[in-house]
Amino acid sequence: MDYYSILGVSSSASKAEIKTAYRERKEALAAKDESSAKNEAARTANRLEGAALNEAWNVLSDQSQRDRYDADSASRDSEAVEGSATELSASLGGEPLKISGKFAGRTPAPPNSPAPNVGGGPLSQRSRRARLELPPGVELASTRPRILAMVFDITVIILLVISTQIAGAKIISERYPVQKEANATAGEARTAAAEDLSAASKSLKTAEDKASKATGDEKASAQAEVDKREEAEKSAKKADQRAAEELKKTQEELRGPTTAVLVASSILALFYLVPSTARTGRTLGKRLRGVKVLRSNGEPLTWWPAFSRYLLPVAIATALFYSPPGLLLALGSVLWWLWDPNRQGSHDRISRTIVVSAPVPRLRLGGR
C-alpha cells in the first residue's frame, strides 16, 4: 500500500503538506459520503477509503514510523527492480543492465541478511542492534561450549579468591595480632549486646501485652513492670551502640590490610584471565571448550582489549567485596550476550570483542 499515493503527495512532502492533503481528502470523502447516502455499496467503498486515509496519516505523520515505512519501501522497490533487471538481462543474452534514477548505486541485501536498523517503535534489544559483519570463516560460538567455558573459569577464579582470602587472613593475624584480637573481642561484644537488646525488646513487648489486659489493682503493678522494661531496653540500646562503635573503630584499623587482600584477589583473577587471552585469545576454560576471543573485526586480541574485557566484571565484584550480590551483578553484566544479536556481553561491547568457535586440535600420540 502506497501511503503517499493515497494522500496524493510526493515522498518528499513535509508534515504540513501531508496534514493539508489528509484534511482535504477527508473533507472530500465526507461530501462524497453524503451524496451517496442511499447507495450501500458506495458507502462501503467510502469507509474503506477512509480507513486507508487514516492509516496513511497515522504512519506518515509520525516521523519514526515514516522512516521505517520509507526504508521498507526502498528495500521492496530495490528487490523488485533487481528481479526485473535480472530477467531482462537474461532475455538480452546475459548483457548487464544499467539502472539509473533513484535506484542507481543500490545493492540489494543478501537473502539472509538482517532487517535494516531503523529507529522508532517498540523494537527488542535483539532487533535494535545491527549485526556485525564477521570475517569469512568466522562463526560465533554456540551457547553450550561458551557457558561451560565460563563456568570453568569462574570456578577457578572463586578458588583463587578464597585461597587469597584465607592466606590474607592468616597474614593479617600474624602481622597485626593486637588489632586482630581487638577486632575479634569487639565483634563478640557486639553480638552479645545485640542479643541483650533483642531479649530486652521481647520482655518489654510481653510486659506491654500483660499491662493491656490487666484490670484493677493489677494494672498499676503491670504498668510499673512496663516502665522497668523500657529502661532496660534503653540501656541495652546504648550498650549496643557503644559495641557497634567499638567494632567499627577496630575494623577501621584493619581496613588497609583487608583492602590489600581484596585487591590481591582481583589482581590474581586478572592474572588468570588477561595474559592467556592476550596471547592466544583463550583462557583455560575456553581452550577446553574450543572457543576463542577475537576483536570484533576478526583480528587477534592485544593486551589492552584483553585487559578491558575483564576489567568491568572484576571491578564490580571487587567493589562489592566479592559478596553474593556483587558476584551476581558481575555475572549479569557478562551474561548479557545471551540476549544480544552479536552474542556480546557488556564486557565484550566495551572492549569490542567477540567469542567465536575455534576448536583446538587434539594431539595424536604414536604418529596416529
CA 132 to CA 114: how far, in whole Å? 10
**230-259, pLDDT tens digit by residue?**
999 999 999 999 999 998 898 888 889 899
* pTM as predicted: 0.55
In this prediction, residue 76 carries a pLDDT of: 64
Query: Has residue 78 got a pLDDT over 50?
Result: yes
Q: State the average pLDDT for the chain.
A: 81
Q: Which residue has the higher pLDDT, 15 or 34?
A: 15
In this prediction, residue 103 carries a pLDDT of: 44
User: How many percent of the chain have pLDDT more than 70?
Assistant: 82
CA 362 to CA 290: how far, in whole Å? 11
**309-333, pLDDT tens digit by residue?**
999 999 998 888 778 888 888 888 8
User: How many percent of the chain have pLDDT more than 90?
Assistant: 38
Q: How confident is the model at residue 364 (pLDDT cuts 50, 70, 90)?
A: low
Q: How confident is the model at residue 136 (pLDDT cuts 50, 70, 90)?
A: confident
In this prediction, residue 126 carries a pLDDT of: 44
In this prediction, residue 281 carries a pLDDT of: 95
**217-235, pLDDT tens digit by residue?**
788 888 888 899 999 999 9
Between the alpha carbon of residue 17 and those of residues 10, 23, 65, 114, 117, the distances in Å are: 9, 10, 17, 34, 27
Segment 199-219 mean pLDDT: 87
DSSP H or E stretch at residue 167: helix 143-175
- 3-state DSSP assignment of residue 331: helix
Q: How confident is the model at residue 82 (pLDDT cuts 50, 70, 90)?
A: low
In this prediction, residue 119 carries a pLDDT of: 32
Q: How confident is the model at residue 201 (pLDDT cuts 50, 70, 90)?
A: very high
In this prediction, residue 113 carries a pLDDT of: 46
Q: Which of the residue ranges 105-109, 262-266, 325-329 would you say has the lowest mean pLDDT?
A: 105-109
In this prediction, residue 8 carries a pLDDT of: 86
CA 274 to CA 278: how far, in whole Å? 6
Q: How confident is the model at residue 350 (pLDDT cuts 50, 70, 90)?
A: very high
Amino acid letter, residue 318 = T
In this prediction, residue 236 carries a pLDDT of: 92
In this prediction, residue 17 carries a pLDDT of: 86
Query: Has residue 208 got a pLDDT over 50?
Result: yes
Q: Which of the residue ranges 117-121, 219-223, 236-240, 297-301 would you say has the lowest mean pLDDT?
A: 117-121
227 within 8 A of 287, measured Cβ to Cβ: no
Measured distance between the N- and C-terminal CA atoms of the chain, rounded to whole angstroms: 66
**HSE-CB for 269 with a 13 A CA cutoff:** 27
C-alpha cell at 136: 569469512
Write out the E strands in the chain. 291-295, 353-357
Query: Has residue 108 got a pLDDT over 70?
Result: no
- Among the listed residues 88, 81, 70, 132, the one whose alpha carbon sits nearest the alpha carbon of residue 106: 81
190 within 8 A of 250, measured Cβ to Cβ: no
Q: How confident is the model at residue 77 (pLDDT cuts 50, 70, 90)?
A: low
207 CB-near residues (< 8 Å, 6+ apart): 222, 225, 226, 228, 229
**22-67, pLDDT tens digit by residue?**
888 888 877 777 776 667 777 777 777 877 888 887 888 888 788 8
126 within 8 A of 341, measured Cβ to Cβ: yes
Provide φ and ψ at 295, rounded to 5°: -65, 155
Segment 101-125 mean pLDDT: 42
